[in-house]
Amino acid sequence: MRYQRELRQVKWEKTMRMQIAMHCGPVFAGIKPSNTVTLDLQDSRELVETFRNSDIKIWLIHAGSGKCLWLLYREQEVQEYLMIPKHQRFLKNCGYSSFQLKDILHALRERYQLYKDDRQGFPHELGLILGYPLCDVLGFMEYQGQNYLYSGYWKVYDNLLETKKLFDAYDRIRYYMVKQVEYGTSLHQLMKAYGRYQISSYA
> Average model confidence (pLDDT) for the chain?
90
What digits encode the pLDDT tens for the residues 102-146?
Answer: 999 999 999 999 999 999 999 999 999 999 999 999 999 999 999
Q: 6 or 121: whose pLDDT is higher?
A: 121
Instruction: Centre a 10 Å sphere on the Cβ of residue 177 and count the other Cβ atoms it contains.
Output: 26
pLDDT of residue 9: 53
Question: What are the tens digits of pLDDT across the range 145-163?
Answer: 999 999 999 999 999 999 9
**Per-residue model confidence (pLDDT) at position 121:** 97
Nearest to 70 by CA among 38, 92, 98, 30: 38
List Cβ neighbours of 47 (8 Å cut-off, separation of 6 or more): 16, 20, 39, 58, 70
| pLDDT for residue 190 | 85
The span from the CA of 54 to the CA of 170, in Å, is 22
